Chains A and B, each alone.
Chain A
Amino acid sequence: TQLLEQSPQFLSIQEGENLTVYCNSSSVFSSLQWYRQEPGEGPVLLVTVVTGGEVKKLKRLTFQFGDARKDSSLHITAAQPGDTGLYLCAGPAVSNDYKLSFGAGTTVTVRA
């Protein structure tokens, strides 16, 4: 199984500030997904990135897949309290495409 490391583990910022969280691996991934998990809920898929160097935007969220497809980042512009949650990256495990290998996540807290 390919391992995904996320950093930082925790991030607390003031409303209106920007933030970036990272997902790194020593292995090449064919694609990566980002999920957000709010307190008391299950993870919800935000985006899938497929092509090396790809950039996708979802309102104030910008996702980038590294050129070598070993890393990805999530940048949030002008964070709001509603962005609070656990951000998880996930990619396909080696042997079975449908199996997801998850990172441990970054807990983001946006203070009003």
Chain B
Amino acid sequence: ETGVTQTPRHLVMGMTNKKSLKCEQHLGHNAMYWYKQSAKKPLELMFVYSLEERVENNSVPSRFSPECPNSSHLFLHLHTLQPEDSALYLCASSQDPQQGFLQETQYFGPGTRLLVL
């Protein structure tokens, strides 16, 4: 495997279910990100992890719970979601966010298409 992989690619869940999204990066990067992409809206940054520590939480509801057990893996645990949470959830990684924007390129995974019924 190369780049950034995400599983599952598609997920349908009810509002009372608990599920987890998984992201794995094979690039040796130190930072990982979760984004939400809804139709006709800009990508929304949800969480940022740098060296396995959470450095950003963009006022995301507690029904979304991230976990970063090591620098290669990132999870997003989901519980009691709402229909408006249906979206494409994208994971990304970058080498070192402390280097700043110009030195950083974020590499995105293919996303998990989530539908909450």
Binding site for B on A (CB under 8 A): 4, 9, 30-31, 40-45, 48, 50, 88, 90, 92, 96-105
Contact = CB atoms under 8 A, between A and B. Distances in A.
Contact of B56 (A43, A92, A99): A99
Given A41-B110, A100-B43, 10 more contacts: A42-B90, A42-B91, A42-B108, A42-B109, A43-B43, A88-B43, A98-B99, A98-B104, A100-B45, A100-B101
Nearest to B108: A42
A103 B42 contact: yes
Contact of B42 (A4, A42, A99): A4
B43 A98 contact: no
A98 B40 contact: no
Interface in B43-59: 43, 45, 48, 56
Contacts of A41: 110-111
Contact of A98 (B42, B94, B108, B109): B94
Interface in B1-48: 4, 31, 40-43, 45, 48
B61 interface: no
A92 B101 contact: yes
Interface in B72-117: 90-92, 94, 97-102, 104-106, 108-111
A45 B102 contact: no
B42 A43 contact: no
Contacts of B43: 43, 88, 90, 100, 102
Contact of B48 (A30, A43, A99): A99
